[in-house]
Amino acid sequence: MEEESSRTLFASARVARLATMGQEGPRLVPVVFAVDGDHIYTAVDHKPKRSRYLQRLADIRVSPAVTLLADHYEENWDLLWWVRADGIATILEEPTDTSRGLDLLVEKYPQYQNRRPDGPVVAIAVTAWRSWSASGVVGLS
């Protein structure tokens, strides 16, 4: 798939898996996200957590290189696809820095319209888009 098609397909997904590398090794967690060109945003939100100081944030502080993977599965394997975004993550905490990412997340997810995330925002500058689809056709799902 071409880069623009990969970005569009990735943006259409509702969830991705964020991979980080910390001092204890790799970590993989599902995240909701929004895409703005070659930038991806995810935030610490109000869903139940033990703490607002998540291990993924500590991992990013140690090693800002991250990967996100969005995929689609169906029993009809002709419709399978995945898109991976590799990039460099930055943790944004100041309201002036977080507003763009939060606005995009609120636009994509109705759950945030009544309760906007107020935690840090992770901004990922994508350095490479990689993808695959079983049929080679973009936008199957």
User: Is the distance from CB of 122 to CB of 60 less than 8 angstroms?
Assistant: yes
Could you report the per-residue pLDDT of 2-34, keeping only the tens digit for each? 888 899 999 999 999 999 998 889 999 999 999
What gap in Å lies between CA 124 and CA 65, rounded to an integer?
9
Tokens (6 digits) for 99:
């507003």
Confidence of residue 141 (pLDDT cuts 50, 70, 90): very low
Could you report the per-residue pLDDT of 79-120, keeping only the tens digit for each? 999 999 999 999 999 999 999 999 999 999 999 999 999 889
Percent of the chain with pLDDT over 90: 79
Distances in Å between the Cα of 74 and the Cα atoms of 1, 10, 25, 66 are 19, 17, 31, 27
Distances in Å between the Cα of 12 and the Cα atoms of 32, 33, 82, 140 are 11, 10, 12, 11
User: Whole-prediction pTM value?
Assistant: 0.91
Q: Give me the pLDDT at residue 49, please.
A: 58
CATH number given to 3-133: 2.30.110.10
